[in-house]
Structure 1
Amino acid sequence: MFTLLTEIKTLWKSRALLWVLTRRELQARHTGTAAGIAWPYLQPLLTVAAYYLVFDVVFSMRLGEGAPTRAVGTFLIVGALPWMAFCDAVSRGMSSLIEAGGLLQKNPLPPVLFVSRSVLASTLIYGPLILLVALAYTPLHGMGWEMLALMALLVFQLLICLLLGYLLAVLAAALRDTVQIVGFLLSVGIYLSPILFPITLFPEQWRWVLWLNPMTALVQGYQQILLQGAWPAASAWWVTLGWIVFIAALLNVAVKRSRDQLVDWL
């Protein structure tokens, strides 16, 4: 993991520049819009509000026995918002090096800065929204020690997005088809995770497929905290840590082998 540790040290030394780039990234996302800085926050908020309005208010749909909660919209929001955060961070991180290709060819800046900028900008948008939803769900989960677990899950999700976004950015620089393939996987990934349905409703012999999605364990953790007021099961922590170690190992190899050719690929 020596190569990855070097990237982390570089990121730490350039933290001031990273913060400047992240702020500019946030500004670029709402430049020219009437709503200004509020617009990046309004889009996901309106989406989850639509879930609640349609499924809980209009149709009053209910889940069956064994679900963390009976209200469908309330259940969807807990998993859908983190999933939107994951998709936004990973997709933007994946495209960050290609978009910064011209700048990287002219300036010897660390590529990790641009991936981190995109992922952190998405985190600064979706992180507060997830915490806002947690406050709105207080009648369901209370305000106990489980909220510390929520903060830990958010940190783990940030780590997964950073590592996976950087890995995919390197692969996308080498092979542009990566963008299309990952875009498709992200579009179908919501159906291969316990976001639209409780995991107990998925056929038991096929549940292993859900664990191929790195967000499955995190979503289950969010559901247990916000819907049941319970500390996440041990599987949520171990599976998430396993994904972090696995992606980090792949990223270490990818960065090490692409270091000399990365700028040329861009």
Structure 2
Amino acid sequence: MIVQTSGGQLRLAANLKWMFTELPFDARFDAAAAAGFTGVEFASPYGLPAARVRDLLNNAGLTQVLINTPGGAAGSATVMGAAYVPGAQDVFREGVERALHYADALGNPIVHVMAGLCPADADPELAFATYVTNIGWAASQARAAGVRIVLEAINKREQPAYGLASMETAGAVAQAVGPDTVGVLFDVYHAQTDRGNVIERFERLAPLVRHVQIADNPGRGEPGTGEIAYERVLARIAASGYSGWIGCEYGPVGDTGEGLKWIEGIRR
């Protein structure tokens, strides 16, 4: 969905994990297309064969714009990713290879490599060094596959043990490893929840931002249900020259279609 704001043009993608949940997952693709979306994202396509997901995309006329690397089983050390977990290198590499296989099958250009939780008994410096090494390896695999990877920090209020300390840390790692292949996933909800100053922080990181996600705070509902001045935030993102997708990673407070009225509020 292309939206013209006062700052310029934006491309909005529906997150099918969070949106249209009043429908079975398979039906959400057509619902997103009917609502005007041309791109979709969702973290984990791995519960379905890649060919089945591709068929759902093709039948709805949609582009898959982002997937995550797989997480481990519930309760495991790698439930939110293995990159930050010393001793889990094989699990990490297997997950990256699986994600790149799906990315190829789906025509998906960007993979979010989840950092994971820093084990409570791990040396923090070793865990961070493990993370940087793992991202370097993932970048080499992604580069060969023609895919970009992105790094995202999750706010510490909700996930205090999540490895990446901040979006600024994600930017520093991307810059060190290779910004041609590695970028930042700038999640406005997490940025506001963690430190605020969303516009200022986005503009500092803008050269490294390859994907954006949005939800309001508090509550993680659609824009307009919380405190974030989304008309201003999105206009500034558009004015920055950012041309990537903006994933609507929010839980509608009611019916998904009714909740899309927020889009009219940001149109020029």
Question: Which structure carries more relative contact order (alpha carbon 8 Å, separation 6+)?
Answer: 1
Structure with the largest fraction of strand: 2
Task: Quickly name the TM-score band, shorter chain normalised.
Answer: under 0.3
Question: Which structure shows the higher helix fraction?
Answer: 1
Greater Cα radius of gyration, structure 1 or 2: 1
- TM normalised by structure 2 equals 0.27
Query: Which TM-score applies when normalising by structure 1?
Result: 0.27
